[in-house]
Chain A
Amino acid sequence: MDKSGKRSVFSGFHRRYKAEWRSSIMNKKQKKLFYRILIAAVLLVVSYLIHALLAPKFPISLIIFLPPYLIAGYDVLLEAAIHIRHGHIFDENFLMCIATIGALVIGEYPEAVFVMVFYQAGELFQSIAVGKSRSSISSLMELCPESATVIRDGKSMIVDPSEVLVGETLSVMAGEKIPIDGIVIEGSSSVDTSALTGESLPRHIEVGDNISGGCINLSSPIKIKTETDYDNSTVAKILELIENAASSKAVTERFITRFARYYTPCVVIGALLLALIPGFITGEFAEWLHRALIFLVISCPCALVISVPLSFFGGIGAAGKRGILVKGSNYLELLSKTDTVVFDKTGTLTMGAFSVTEAVAYQNGNPCSNAQSIDHLYSLTALLEANSNHPIARSIIEAYNKKYNTIPREHADNVTEHAGRGLSAIVNKKRLLVGNAKLMCEYSIAIPEITTEGSVIYTAYDKELLGYFIICDTEKKTSAQAINVLKSMGVKRIVMLTGDREQTAERIAKRLGIDEYHASLLPADKVHIVEKMLNEMPKNKKLAFVGDGINDAPVLARSDLGIAMGALGSDAAIEAADIVLMDDDPLKLTEAIRISKKTNIIVMQNIIFALGIKVIFLAMGAFGIANLWEAVFADVGVAVIAILNAMRTLKAPNK
């Protein structure tokens, strides 16, 4: 009961969230403010005309400006009063009140109203811009399925995805979204995975294939058997990740909020000193008060404070649309400072799909090609490898299947796994070994030197070599291009790590244009190498490790940035990495770096621009060059420009 209750709250939450995002372009509150600003602006023009044409005397002159002032700013005055009671003195509302009331006191009526109207217009714009970028991220939420058609007791019924149990059969029509991860049990079709991976090419699926929820079934109806419940499905995990993405903040983001905390009080104190000291010296209080008010008008740090998180948020959103999940603004920031990229070879630069290209049997230490010894080699190797899920082991089993048209019937018992080396077991009281050269060395088995490309798996039984398999893995089509692009982007050091043999590593590294590689590594060695590299690096540069998320969780965690690739359907990888590339194209990494660089440039532009303008106006205000009109125009203008600039991050950069 408790559990199902939690589930429906969870999915209800998503739906509520979506609805909210859709309607947030201009909500009720914003509309009300919009009309108030409009009315106030019209009244201001009318009052200004009366003021200019009739030139009424005080207090009539003040009274004609009060209606627009109050219509535009009554809530600002109210908020300020409430905040003073709570002890928040340096509040934007309060500062605006002081600035405008100050202007009214020294008789600058039109300015006072103008400042208030413009300030409110700026606020409205900010709130619309934020709402808009929030809603544009919501297109990511579109992958959330609305309902699922489940087949129970031969009848199909439509239920909420959260009510589907593990192992139930779902029917998915063409054009429908696949609600939950599962295996295809009937029919074949093509699916659009773009919502998850950013990959526009449809994928073909048939009986036995795994399929992730959130994909759209394109061509024909299929039935799938669910493998998880909704809470644990890829879609739910991704949604959760996106929603929580912004909880780890970037250094720049923290810096700006800390800066804002001191900026406002400093400017206000500056304003106070500017009003009092020269005022006493020269006796021209009105003039210096006027200059001090300019300080107050530009004392609000809004433009900065809003544009930085908005930029990072936009960047994360843009990346998400391309199938790149960034788990926090800090990672997006770090990615642009990456100058060392360490790749795991298998499954990252290469397909990770192995096949046996050669099988050589041995007898009495010499190669021999009679069928009997080859059968012996295959059957004993398969005996052990049937216990393993390692891609290499699977490729041997596949070769076995192909050769004998059957699956290995027996499994060895008591199999010991030697991490990064192979497997061993006792069969008929004698030791059976299947693994690489290292494992053979450990058990002092004499092995031939093999120079052909590929990984070599030896099989030995009763201290004698039975033969070896050569297993090849081809590099991905885009690997070389990705390495090239990384280099041109200024990544200085590209390293490939692999548990594979020196010869294989060397050839692949050469073909891909990688200068540095480390071969024959055990999983623990990879951590040591990454740690050593981290120590050698300057502090302001970062190291990214790219792996497929299988077996390399410790390295992912140890690096400055752990990037998991081809993570669709692998929860462990989504969990362990800081950045997740949903499909397995290495070019996605370059795209992620491009988005990160663009985002960071925009953040820097905004900081420099907004601070620069503020400093200039503080100086101009102090020297009496700027007036209130210009100051508020500059302040709101900076905010608008900074926000528009920040929203550029929503659009992913072109290649």
Chain B
Amino acid sequence: MKKIFKLENLDCANCAAKMERAIQKLEGVNSATISFMTQKLTLDADEARFDEIVAQADKECSKVDRDCHIVK
């Protein structure tokens, strides 16, 4: 399943790259792209565990930048 999320408080381009890499490494993620300029995460992940994966992705984001979260 592919879905686009907005990220709030994404203020640093290098952070976006780090988050992208961390989310790509999560289990069940087929592909993940973060656009720093539009503050969007395009996530393609296992449908059965989608919500769980989104929660994990959110955690990865806040690990890189404390204020940054996925808007659900």
Seen from chain A, the residues whose Cβ lies within 8 Å of a Cβ on chain B are 79, 82-83, 86, 88, 92, 126-127, 130, 133-134, 243-249, 257, 260-261, 300-302, 305-306, 309-310, 312-313
Distance A246 CA – B40 CA, assembled complex (angstroms): 9
Q: Given A86-B63, A88-B63, A243–B40 Cβ distance below 8 Å?
A: yes
B37 touches A133 (CB 8 A): yes
Distance A126 CA – B12 CA, assembled complex (angstroms): 8
Q: Given A247-B42, A305-B17, A134–B37 Cβ distance below 8 Å?
A: yes
Which of A79, A247, A257, A313 is the one whose CB lies under 8 Å from B17?
A: A257
A247 touches B37 (CB 8 A): no
Determine the residue in chain A with the shortest Cβ distance to B8: A20
Distance A24 CA – B66 CA, assembled complex (angstroms): 20
Q: Given A130-B37, A247-B42, A79–B4 Cβ distance below 8 Å?
A: no
Shortest Cβ distance from residue B45 to the other chain A in the assembled complex, whole angstroms: 15
21 A-B residue pairs with CB within 8 Å? A83-B63, A86-B63, A243-B4, A243-B38, A243-B40, A245-B38, A246-B35, A246-B37, A246-B38, A247-B4, A247-B35, A248-B33, A257-B14, A257-B17, A261-B21, A300-B14, A306-B13, A306-B14, A310-B13, A310-B37, A313-B38
Distance A246 CA – B37 CA, assembled complex (angstroms): 8
Secondary structure at the A interface, as helix, strand, loop or mixed, is: helix
In the assembled complex, B36 has its CB within 8 A of some CB on chain A: yes
B64 touches A88 (CB 8 A): yes
User: Which B residues touch A301, using CB under 8 A?
Assistant: 14
For the complex, count residues of B whose C-beta is within 8 A of A: 20
Distance A249 CA – B17 CA, assembled complex (angstroms): 12
Shortest Cβ distance from residue B44 to the other chain A in the assembled complex, whole angstroms: 11
Distance A88 CA – B18 CA, assembled complex (angstroms): 10
User: Which A residues touch B47, using CB under 8 A?
Assistant: none
Which of B17, B33, B36, B64 is the one whose CB lies under 8 Å from A261?
A: B17
Seen from chain B, the residues whose Cβ lies within 8 Å of a Cβ on chain A are 4, 11-14, 17-18, 20-21, 33, 35-40, 42, 63-64, 66
User: Which B residues touch A79, using CB under 8 A?
Assistant: 66
Shortest Cβ distance from residue B59 to the other chain A in the assembled complex, whole angstroms: 10
A305 touches B11 (CB 8 A): no
B40 touches A305 (CB 8 A): no
Shortest Cβ distance from residue A226 to the other chain B in the assembled complex, whole angstroms: 27
Distance A83 CA – B37 CA, assembled complex (angstroms): 24
A309 touches B37 (CB 8 A): yes
Determine the residue in chain A with the shortest Cβ distance to B34: A247
Shortest Cβ distance from residue B46 to the other chain A in the assembled complex, whole angstroms: 19
The 3 closest A-B pairs by CB, nearest first: A246-B35, A313-B37, A257-B17
Distance A245 CA – B33 CA, assembled complex (angstroms): 12
Which of A83, A244, A302, A305 is the one whose CB lies under 8 Å from B4?
A: A244
User: Which B residues touch A305, using CB under 8 A?
Assistant: 13-14, 17
Distance A243 CA – B21 CA, assembled complex (angstroms): 22
Distance A582 CA – B4 CA, assembled complex (angstroms): 25
User: Which B residues touch A134, using CB under 8 A?
Assistant: 37-39
Shortest Cβ distance from residue A649 to the other chain B in the assembled complex, whole angstroms: 12
Determine the residue in chain A with the shortest Cβ distance to B9: A29
User: Which A residues touch B42, using CB under 8 A?
Assistant: 244, 247
User: Which A residues touch B36, using CB under 8 A?
Assistant: 130, 306, 309
Shortest Cβ distance from residue B18 to the other chain A in the assembled complex, whole angstroms: 7
B14 touches A260 (CB 8 A): yes
User: Which A residues touch B20, using CB under 8 A?
Assistant: 257
Most buried by B among A246, A248, A249, A313: A246
A127 touches B11 (CB 8 A): yes
Determine the residue in chain B with the shortest Cβ distance to A127: B11
Q: Given A82-B66, A92-B14, A127-B11, A249–B37 Cβ distance below 8 Å?
A: no
User: Which B residues touch A257, using CB under 8 A?
Assistant: 14, 17, 20
User: Which A residues touch B12, using CB under 8 A?
Assistant: 92, 126, 302, 306
Most buried by A among B4, B37, B40: B37
User: Which A residues touch B17, using CB under 8 A?
Assistant: 257, 260-261, 305
Determine the residue in chain A with the shortest Cβ distance to B64: A88
A244 touches B40 (CB 8 A): yes
Shortest Cβ distance from residue A643 to the other chain B in the assembled complex, whole angstroms: 10
User: Which A residues touch B21, using CB under 8 A?
Assistant: 261
Determine the residue in chain B with the shortest Cβ distance to A133: B37
Determine the residue in chain A with the shortest Cβ distance to B21: A261
User: Which A residues touch B64, using CB under 8 A?
Assistant: 83, 86, 88
Determine the residue in chain A with the shortest Cβ distance to B11: A127
Shortest Cβ distance from residue B2 to the other chain A in the assembled complex, whole angstroms: 10
Q: Given A79-B66, A86-B63, A309–B35 Cβ distance below 8 Å?
A: yes
User: Which B residues touch A83, using CB under 8 A?
Assistant: 63-64
Distance A302 CA – B37 CA, assembled complex (angstroms): 14
Determine the residue in chain A with the shortest Cβ distance to B18: A88
Distance A312 CA – B36 CA, assembled complex (angstroms): 11
Shortest Cβ distance from residue B56 to the other chain A in the assembled complex, whole angstroms: 14
User: Which B residues touch A82, using CB under 8 A?
Assistant: 66
Distance A310 CA – B13 CA, assembled complex (angstroms): 9
Distance A35 CA – B18 CA, assembled complex (angstroms): 29
Determine the residue in chain A with the shortest Cβ distance to B37: A313
A302 touches B66 (CB 8 A): no
Shortest Cβ distance from residue A371 to the other chain B in the assembled complex, whole angstroms: 63
Which of A244, A246, A302, A313 is the one whose CB lies under 8 Å from B14?
A: A302
Shortest Cβ distance from residue A122 to the other chain B in the assembled complex, whole angstroms: 11
Distance A641 CA – B42 CA, assembled complex (angstroms): 30
A302 touches B40 (CB 8 A): no
Known pairs A130-B37, A309-B13, A310-B13 / 5 extra A-B pairs, C-beta < 8 Å: A126-B12, A133-B37, A246-B35, A257-B14, A257-B20
Determine the residue in chain A with the shortest Cβ distance to B36: A309
B18 touches A247 (CB 8 A): no
Determine the residue in chain A with the shortest Cβ distance to B63: A86
Determine the residue in chain A with the shortest Cβ distance to B33: A247
B11 touches A130 (CB 8 A): yes
Distance A82 CA – B11 CA, assembled complex (angstroms): 17
User: Which B residues touch A88, using CB under 8 A?
Assistant: 18, 63-64
User: Which B residues touch A310, using CB under 8 A?
Assistant: 13, 37
Distance A86 CA – B42 CA, assembled complex (angstroms): 24
Shortest Cβ distance from residue B53 to the other chain A in the assembled complex, whole angstroms: 18
Shortest Cβ distance from residue A512 to the other chain B in the assembled complex, whole angstroms: 38
Distance A86 CA – B64 CA, assembled complex (angstroms): 8
Distance A312 CA – B39 CA, assembled complex (angstroms): 14
User: Which A residues touch B13, using CB under 8 A?
Assistant: 302, 305-306, 309-310
